[in-house]
Amino acid sequence: MFEKHEIWSHTDEAVLRHLIFRDIATNLYYLQQTDSLYANGSKETAESAALQLSIAIRAFQDNFSSKCRRRGFKTLAEAADSWND
């Protein structure tokens, strides 16, 4: 079982949304994906956010339903910072 966390940060160009899951059994955090969101209120922004959610669901099924997992981190901050690796 997993617990979902969203960590938000920003750059000069975009807002970054880090989707992180905590494995309840091991208490390790796994970065699922980082999305760049642009707050211009356009239809494309809404469609992009919906597409990113669809991708996140599929990636969760692929990555966490199998034995092949990503590198786990002890803290949310470590997991969020790993997006640039």
Question: What tokens appear for 60 in the block?
Answer: 């969760």
Q: Taking the complete model, does pTM exceed 0.75, yes or no?
A: no
Contact 29, 19 (CB under 8 A): no
Tens-place pLDDT, residues 21-42: 999 999 999 988 888 777 665 5
Question: What tokens appear for 59 in the block?
Answer: 């990636």
Listed by start position, the domains of the chain span 2-84
The closest of 30, 3, 33 to 18, measured between CA atoms, is: 33
Tens-place pLDDT, residues 42-74: 556 667 777 777 777 777 777 665 544 567 899
Question: What tokens appear for 38 in the block?
Answer: 């642009």
- Helix locations, 1-85, DSSP H: 43-64, 76-81
